[in-house]
């Protein structure tokens, strides 16, 4: 408890590891709490094709392991533990992990975001019994079965395409006829013979029997007309929400819960910085998260210097 760290980094996606790499190379001896599931969302991603420097693409977990290794080589200490809470009422700040309190001058929050669920009737009971938010994790359970994916963004198109490796048919269900997904992801889904796209449909309720999911009632949002779809697997890909609960409302966030930057990457609390999807309402890419992690570490270094 008596050691005061220069900087504690909370969260271990591309933003956190890049912040760790820069802070370590700046001799700040950073400590990272990377979470029990360290590596963030990319641990659940199959192939990353748009991170510069990987002409053949790279697996998400593989990239996270390399980022970690690179940062550790320069001295980043990573603990695969979750932060329970922080106390930002006085300096040094307190970070509580499994009942133990760590003191630090600065904090970088890079906790990223977690999947949003639809919360349609019957969903809670079928989570893990057919309904999932992670095709990479659960797709292989649906070999030669019919599944559906809900959403119209990159995640939905990517997951639908990925699931065709296993499923006999994938229905991509979107609530309107305009897709947010990038052209390349959308086109890949459209051209895939195993994928059927259903627009103007949303899940009204989930259907199940004693074995698990059997399908859903889909509703046309324009006129309320319904139809049933028979699937044994459903993957919800309707976006993510930032992970900030452990901050206990001590850092200013916007109406959707994203942390607000006040001065470059510094938040509303002096010495508390944030990077990656936990602040990013717009880009949400591995490369932009990594870039912001670099900025946060450089801002911490400058801020610490200014404290003397």
- Tokens in use for 70? 């690179």
Among 4, 27, 29, 50, binds ligand NAP (CB under 6 A): 50
Residues annotated as catalytic are 134, 137-138
219 binds ligand NAP (CB under 6 A): no
List 202, 244, 265, 267, residue binding ligand NAP (CB under 6 A): 202
Q: Which two tokens stand for residue 47?
A: 């192939």
Distance of CA 194 to the CA centre of its chain: 27
Report in angstroms how near the CB of residue 184 gets to ligand NAP at its nearest. Answer: 9
**Using CA atoms, how far apart are residues 273 and 6, in angstroms rounded to an integer?**
13
**Is 284 one of the binding residues for ligand NAP (CB under 6 A)?**
yes
Q: Using CB under 6 A, which of 18, 155, 244, 265 touches ligand NAP?
A: 155
The answer to whether 76 and 24 are in contact (CB under 8 A) is: yes
Return the SS3 of 248. coil
Please state, in angstroms and as integers, the Cα–Cα distance from residue 69 to each residue in 17, 20, 66, 72, 108, following that order.
9, 11, 5, 5, 19
Give me 225's structure tokens.
């007309």
Which of 154, 219, 299, 301: binder of ligand NAP (CB under 6 A)? 154
By the 8 A CB rule, do 15 and 290 touch? yes
Segment lying near ligand NAP (by CB under 6 A), choices 15-23, 138-146, 234-242, 296-304: 234-242
Task: Indicate the angle between helix axes 286-306 and 14-25, nearest 10 degrees.
Answer: 40
Stretch that binds ligand NAP, among 26-34, 90-98, 150-158, 208-216 (CB under 6 A): 150-158
Q: How far is the CB of 273 from ligand NAP (least distance, A)?
A: 22
Q: Does position 132 bind ligand NAP by CB under 6 A?
A: no
- Residue choice 25, 94, 180, 198 for contact with ligand NAP (CB under 6 A): 180
Distance CA 113, CA 275 (A): 11
- 31 vs 253 by CB, closer to ligand NAP: 253
Interface ranges with ligand NAP (CB under 6 A): 50, 118, 150-156, 158, 175-176, 180, 202, 237-240, 284
């Amino acid at each position: 408890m008596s050691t005061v760290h220069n900087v504690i980094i909370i969260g271990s996606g591309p933003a956190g590891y890049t912040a760790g790499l820069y802070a370590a190379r700046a001799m700040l001896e950073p400590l990272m709490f990377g979470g029990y599931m360290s590596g963030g969302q990319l641990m659940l991603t199959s192939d990353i094709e748009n991170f510069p420097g990987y002409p053949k693409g790279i697996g998400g977990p593989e990239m996270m392991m390399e980022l970690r290794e690179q940062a550790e080589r320069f001295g980043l200490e990573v603990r695969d533990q979750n932060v329970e809470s922080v106390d930002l009422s006085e300096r040094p700040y307190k970070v509580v992990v499994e009942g133990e309190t760590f003191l630090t001058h600065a904090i970088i929050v890079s906790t990223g975001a977690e999947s949003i669920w639809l919360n349609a009737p019957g969903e809670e009971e079928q989570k893990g019994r057919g309904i999932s938010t992670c095709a990479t994790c659960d797709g292989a359970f649906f070999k030669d079965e019919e599944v559906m994916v809900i959403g119209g963004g990159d995640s939905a198109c990517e997951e639908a395409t990925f699931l065709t490796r296993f499923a006999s048919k994938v229905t991509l269900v979107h609530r309107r006829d305009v897709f947010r997904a990038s052209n390349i992801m959308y086109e890949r889904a459209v051209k895939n013979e195993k994928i059927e796209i259903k627009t103007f449909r949303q899940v009204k309720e989930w259907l199940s029997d004693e074995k698990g999911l059997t399908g859903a009632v889909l509703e046309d949002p324009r006129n309320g007309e319904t139809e049933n779809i028979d699937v044994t697997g459903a993957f919800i890909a309707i976006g993510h929400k930032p992970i900030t609960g452990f901050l206990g409302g001590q850092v200013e966030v916007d109406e959707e819960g994203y942390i607000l930057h006040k001065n470059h990457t510094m938040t509303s609390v002096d010495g508390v910085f944030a990077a990656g999807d936990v602040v990013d309402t717009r880009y949400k890419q591995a490369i932009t998260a990594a870039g912001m992690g670099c900025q946060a570490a450089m801002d911490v270094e400058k801020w610490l210097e200014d404290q003397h």
